[in-house]
Amino acid sequence: MERLTRYSALSGEPVVVVFDGGDSGNSSQEVSEGEPNGGVHILFSGRDETADDVILRLAEKLRERCLVVSSDRAVQEGAGRVGAAVLYSGQFEARLHSLS
């Protein structure tokens, strides 16, 4: 989270991290703004959805205005179909390391 916060501060771009929420009962729509943590917003999927579902929904909403970081092929393909930029997790990690 520290590196993501630093990335957000240096790039000027917000970062959204999405986790599977399991049985939390909260849907990502209810917490759509997440909890800001130094430019990093944390979302949890709802009971009947996965983090991948949330990521794809955000990508569809933001389209070319977002970068989706994932190593999941289905997430990459879905985000790319709606115009979002896509980056493998390892490539993004290399970007984070270059900030050190």
Q: What is the tens place of the pLDDT at every residue in 20-67?
A: 986 655 554 433 444 456 689 999 999 899 999 999 999 999 999 999
Running DSSP on this structure, what letter comes out for residue 83? T
2-98 fold: Rossmann fold (3.40.50)
**Predicted local confidence at residue 92, as pLDDT:** 96
For the segment 74-97, what is each residue's pLDDT rounded down to a tens digit? 999 999 999 999 999 999 999 998
Q: Strands, E, within 1-100: which ranges?
A: 15-19, 35-37, 40-44, 67-69, 85-87
Q: Which residue, chain included where needed, has tokens 């790039």?
A: 11
Tokens of 26: 């909260």
pTM passes above 0.85: no
Longest dimension (CA), the chain: 38
Phi, psi of 84 (to 5 degrees): -75, 150
Alpha-carbon torsion 99, 12, 81, 70, what sign?
positive
